[in-house]
Protein backbone atom coordinates (compact mmCIF):
# COMPACT_ATOMS: atom_id res chain seq x y z
CA UNK A 1 0.00 0.00 0.00
CA UNK A 2 1.44 3.38 -1.00
CA UNK A 3 1.89 6.36 1.24
CA UNK A 4 -1.21 8.44 1.94
CA UNK A 5 0.82 11.62 1.64
CA UNK A 6 3.51 12.58 -0.81
CA UNK A 7 6.65 12.60 1.34
CA UNK A 8 8.97 13.69 -1.51
CA UNK A 9 7.55 14.96 -4.79
CA UNK A 10 9.02 14.45 -8.26
CA UNK A 11 11.04 17.65 -7.93
CA UNK A 12 12.76 16.30 -4.81
CA UNK A 13 10.91 18.57 -2.38
CA UNK A 14 9.17 17.59 0.86
CA UNK A 15 5.67 18.71 1.89
CA UNK A 16 7.04 21.82 3.64
CA UNK A 17 9.25 22.79 0.69
CA UNK A 18 12.56 21.48 2.05
CA UNK A 19 15.08 19.25 0.32
CA UNK A 20 15.98 15.83 1.77
CA UNK A 21 18.88 16.95 3.94
CA UNK A 22 17.63 20.43 4.75
CA UNK A 23 17.04 21.25 8.43
CA UNK A 24 14.05 23.28 9.56
CA UNK A 25 14.49 26.85 10.76
CA UNK A 26 15.78 26.86 14.32
CA UNK A 27 15.27 29.70 16.80
CA UNK A 28 16.76 30.01 20.29
CA UNK A 29 15.70 32.36 23.08
CA UNK A 30 17.82 32.40 26.23
CA UNK A 31 16.43 35.62 27.72
CA UNK A 32 13.30 34.29 29.51
CA UNK A 33 14.84 33.42 32.87
CA UNK A 34 11.95 33.93 35.31
CA UNK A 35 12.82 32.25 38.60
CA UNK A 36 14.85 29.48 36.94
CA UNK A 37 18.64 29.37 37.21
CA UNK A 38 18.74 28.85 33.45
CA UNK A 39 16.14 28.43 30.73
CA UNK A 40 15.81 28.16 26.98
CA UNK A 41 13.02 28.25 24.42
CA UNK A 42 13.94 26.40 21.24
CA UNK A 43 11.99 25.82 18.06
CA UNK A 44 12.68 23.39 15.24
CA UNK A 45 10.14 24.39 12.59
CA UNK A 46 6.76 24.25 14.33
CA UNK A 47 8.01 22.20 17.29
CA UNK A 48 8.70 24.38 20.33
CA UNK A 49 9.85 23.51 23.85
CA UNK A 50 10.68 25.52 26.97
CA UNK A 51 13.31 24.03 29.29
CA UNK A 52 13.91 25.43 32.79
CA UNK A 53 16.78 24.36 35.04
CA UNK A 54 16.90 24.80 38.82
CA UNK A 55 19.99 24.03 40.85
CA UNK A 56 22.27 22.59 41.84
CA UNK A 57 20.31 22.80 45.09
CA UNK A 58 19.81 20.72 48.20
CA UNK A 59 17.88 17.53 47.49
CA UNK A 60 14.34 17.74 48.85
CA UNK A 61 14.13 14.09 49.83
CA UNK A 62 16.79 12.07 51.57
CA UNK A 63 16.00 9.10 49.32
CA UNK A 64 17.07 11.19 46.30
CA UNK A 65 20.40 12.23 47.85
CA UNK A 66 23.51 10.69 46.30
CA UNK A 67 26.53 11.23 48.53
CA UNK A 68 29.18 11.68 45.80
CA UNK A 69 27.29 13.46 43.02
CA UNK A 70 24.21 15.45 42.08
CA UNK A 71 20.97 13.69 41.25
CA UNK A 72 19.40 14.81 37.97
CA UNK A 73 15.62 15.02 38.05
CA UNK A 74 13.71 15.45 34.76
CA UNK A 75 10.01 16.23 34.40
CA UNK A 76 8.20 16.67 31.10
CA UNK A 77 4.80 18.29 30.64
CA UNK A 78 2.84 18.80 27.45
CA UNK A 79 0.68 21.89 27.03
CA UNK A 80 -2.90 20.89 26.18
CA UNK A 81 -2.86 23.22 23.16
CA UNK A 82 0.43 21.82 21.79
CA UNK A 83 -1.07 19.10 19.63
CA UNK A 84 -4.04 18.28 17.47
CA UNK A 85 -4.90 15.36 19.76
CA UNK A 86 -7.94 15.95 21.94
CA UNK A 87 -6.60 13.67 24.65
CA UNK A 88 -4.61 15.62 27.22
CA UNK A 89 -1.38 13.90 28.20
CA UNK A 90 -0.81 13.72 31.95
CA UNK A 91 2.58 13.61 33.66
CA UNK A 92 2.05 9.91 34.30
CA UNK A 93 1.56 9.22 30.59
CA UNK A 94 3.87 6.37 29.45
CA UNK A 95 5.26 8.31 26.49
CA UNK A 96 6.01 11.36 28.65
CA UNK A 97 7.71 9.23 31.32
CA UNK A 98 9.84 7.58 28.60
CA UNK A 99 10.78 11.00 27.21
CA UNK A 100 11.85 12.19 30.69
CA UNK A 101 13.85 8.99 31.30
CA UNK A 102 15.62 9.35 27.92
CA UNK A 103 16.58 12.97 28.64
CA UNK A 104 17.88 11.98 32.08
CA UNK A 105 20.01 9.09 30.76
CA UNK A 106 21.34 11.27 27.92
CA UNK A 107 22.59 14.01 30.26
CA UNK A 108 23.78 12.01 33.27
CA UNK A 109 27.17 11.21 31.64
CA UNK A 110 27.52 14.80 30.37
CA UNK A 111 26.71 16.99 33.40
CA UNK A 112 29.67 17.13 35.80
CA UNK A 113 27.54 15.88 38.70
CA UNK A 114 30.56 14.95 40.86
CA UNK A 115 31.15 18.67 41.46
CA UNK A 116 27.88 18.86 43.40
CA UNK A 117 27.58 15.94 45.86
CA UNK A 118 24.35 15.52 47.85
CA UNK A 119 22.47 17.99 45.65
CA UNK A 120 19.91 17.85 42.87
CA UNK A 121 19.53 19.50 39.47
CA UNK A 122 15.94 19.82 38.30
CA UNK A 123 15.18 19.98 34.58
CA UNK A 124 11.60 20.90 33.64
CA UNK A 125 10.67 20.47 29.98
CA UNK A 126 7.45 22.01 28.74
CA UNK A 127 6.27 21.07 25.25
CA UNK A 128 4.55 24.12 23.78
CA UNK A 129 4.06 22.94 20.19
CA UNK A 130 4.82 19.67 18.49
CA UNK A 131 5.28 18.89 14.84
CA UNK A 132 7.89 16.14 14.80
CA UNK A 133 11.41 15.97 16.22
CA UNK A 134 10.16 16.31 19.79
CA UNK A 135 13.03 14.38 21.40
CA UNK A 136 15.66 16.35 19.44
CA UNK A 137 14.07 19.65 20.55
CA UNK A 138 13.97 18.49 24.20
CA UNK A 139 17.65 17.48 24.12
CA UNK A 140 18.87 20.61 22.34
CA UNK A 141 16.77 22.79 24.65
CA UNK A 142 18.15 21.00 27.73
CA UNK A 143 21.74 21.58 26.55
CA UNK A 144 20.97 25.29 26.17
CA UNK A 145 19.19 25.64 29.53
CA UNK A 146 22.00 23.82 31.42
CA UNK A 147 24.64 26.00 29.77
CA UNK A 148 22.54 29.10 30.55
CA UNK A 149 22.36 28.00 34.20
CA UNK A 150 26.17 27.81 34.28
CA UNK A 151 26.21 24.09 35.04
CA UNK A 152 29.50 22.53 33.84
CA UNK A 153 29.08 20.08 30.96
CA UNK A 154 31.72 17.79 29.48
CA UNK A 155 30.35 18.81 26.08
CA UNK A 156 27.18 20.08 24.47
CA UNK A 157 24.68 17.43 23.37
CA UNK A 158 23.17 18.03 19.92
CA UNK A 159 20.34 15.91 18.54
CA UNK A 160 18.60 15.44 15.20
CA UNK A 161 16.08 13.02 13.71
CA UNK A 162 16.56 11.19 10.44
CA UNK A 163 14.46 8.80 8.41
CA UNK A 164 14.26 6.98 5.09
CA UNK A 165 11.53 7.30 2.48
CA UNK A 166 11.89 4.49 -0.10
CA UNK A 167 15.68 4.78 -0.46
CA UNK A 168 15.90 8.54 0.20
CA UNK A 169 17.42 9.54 3.55
CA UNK A 170 15.86 12.63 5.17
CA UNK A 171 16.76 14.83 8.14
CA UNK A 172 14.77 16.74 10.79
CA UNK A 173 11.37 15.15 10.24
CA UNK A 174 7.94 16.73 10.65
CA UNK A 175 5.13 14.83 12.38
CA UNK A 176 3.63 13.96 8.99
CA UNK A 177 6.94 12.37 7.97
CA UNK A 178 7.52 10.63 11.33
CA UNK A 179 4.10 9.01 11.12
CA UNK A 180 4.84 7.65 7.66
CA UNK A 181 8.48 6.54 7.52
CA UNK A 182 11.02 4.66 9.69
CA UNK A 183 13.10 7.13 11.71
CA UNK A 184 15.82 7.46 14.33
CA UNK A 185 16.97 10.19 16.75
CA UNK A 186 20.73 10.59 17.20
CA UNK A 187 22.38 12.75 19.88
CA UNK A 188 26.10 13.38 19.84
CA UNK A 189 28.82 15.28 21.67
CA UNK A 190 30.50 17.27 18.88
CA UNK A 191 33.83 17.86 20.66
CA UNK A 192 34.62 14.15 20.97
CA UNK A 193 32.26 12.82 18.30
CA UNK A 194 30.81 10.43 20.90
CA UNK A 195 27.18 9.42 20.47
CA UNK A 196 25.14 9.65 23.68
CA UNK A 197 21.86 8.46 22.21
CA UNK A 198 20.54 6.55 19.21
CA UNK A 199 16.90 5.68 19.59
CA UNK A 200 14.74 3.98 17.02
CA UNK A 201 10.98 3.54 17.33
CA UNK A 202 10.60 1.77 14.00
CA UNK A 203 12.51 -0.94 12.14
CA UNK A 204 15.16 0.22 9.71
CA UNK A 205 17.43 -1.80 7.43
CA UNK A 206 20.98 -1.86 8.76
CA UNK A 207 22.49 -0.26 5.63
CA UNK A 208 19.92 2.53 5.74
CA UNK A 209 20.62 3.01 9.44
CA UNK A 210 24.34 3.52 8.78
CA UNK A 211 23.59 6.15 6.14
CA UNK A 212 21.10 8.02 8.34
CA UNK A 213 23.43 7.78 11.31
CA UNK A 214 26.30 9.37 9.36
CA UNK A 215 24.04 12.15 8.02
CA UNK A 216 22.60 12.84 11.48
CA UNK A 217 26.11 13.19 12.91
CA UNK A 218 26.93 15.77 10.21
CA UNK A 219 23.68 17.63 10.92
CA UNK A 220 24.51 17.57 14.65
CA UNK A 221 27.58 19.70 13.89
CA UNK A 222 25.37 22.31 12.20
CA UNK A 223 23.04 22.40 15.22
CA UNK A 224 26.10 22.60 17.50
CA UNK A 225 27.26 25.77 15.71
CA UNK A 226 23.83 27.37 16.28
CA UNK A 227 23.73 26.39 19.96
CA UNK A 228 27.30 27.53 20.58
CA UNK A 229 26.61 30.86 18.86
CA UNK A 230 23.47 31.47 20.97
CA UNK A 231 25.25 30.72 24.27
CA UNK A 232 28.23 32.86 23.28
CA UNK A 233 25.92 35.77 22.40
CA UNK A 234 24.04 35.41 25.70
CA UNK A 235 27.28 35.36 27.72
CA UNK A 236 28.66 38.40 25.87
CA UNK A 237 25.37 40.23 26.47
CA UNK A 238 25.48 39.52 30.21
CA UNK A 239 29.10 40.65 30.49
CA UNK A 240 28.23 43.83 28.55
CA UNK A 241 25.16 44.52 30.71
CA UNK A 242 27.31 44.30 33.85
CA UNK A 243 29.59 46.94 32.37
CA UNK A 244 32.64 45.13 33.67
CA UNK A 245 36.17 45.89 32.66
CA UNK A 246 38.71 43.18 31.99
CA UNK A 247 39.78 43.18 35.63
CA UNK A 248 36.60 43.27 37.73
CA UNK A 249 34.54 40.90 35.56
CA UNK A 250 37.21 38.30 35.23
CA UNK A 251 34.97 35.33 36.05
CA UNK A 252 32.36 36.17 33.44
CA UNK A 253 34.90 36.95 30.77
CA UNK A 254 36.59 33.66 31.45
CA UNK A 255 33.25 31.91 31.05
CA UNK A 256 32.91 33.52 27.63
CA UNK A 257 36.38 32.47 26.61
CA UNK A 258 35.67 29.01 27.97
CA UNK A 259 32.99 28.65 25.31
CA UNK A 260 35.74 27.73 22.87
CA UNK A 261 36.09 24.44 24.76
CA UNK A 262 32.68 23.37 23.43
Q: How far apart (Å, rounded) are the C-alpha atoms in residues 221 and 229?
A: 12
Q: Residues for the chain: how many in total? A: 262
Q: How far apart (Å, rounded) are the C-alpha atoms in residues 159 and 238?
A: 27
For residue 50, what pLDDT is reported? 97
Give 173-200 as a 3 state SS string.
CCHHHHHHCCEEEEEEECCCCEEEEEEE
Contacts of 239 (CB under 8 A, 6+ apart): 249, 252, 253, 256
Predicted confidence (pLDDT) per residue in 94-130, tens digit: 999 999 999 999 999 999 999 999 999 999 999 999 9
Q: How far is CA 200 from the centre of its chain?
A: 16
Tell me which of 13-27, 52-66, 197-211 is least confident: 197-211
Quick check: 160 and 216 in contact, CB under 8 A? yes
Show the domains of the chain with their CATH numbers: 26-261 (3.30.230.70)
| pLDDT value at 229 more than 90 | yes
Amino acid sequence: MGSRVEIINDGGFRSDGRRQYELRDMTIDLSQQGIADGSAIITHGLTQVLVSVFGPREAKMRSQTIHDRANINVEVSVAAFSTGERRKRSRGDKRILELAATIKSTFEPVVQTSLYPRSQIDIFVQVLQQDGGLLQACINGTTLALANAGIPLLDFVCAVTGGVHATSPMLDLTLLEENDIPHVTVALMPKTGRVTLATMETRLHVERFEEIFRLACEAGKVIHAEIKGAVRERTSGLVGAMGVGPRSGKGDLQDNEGMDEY
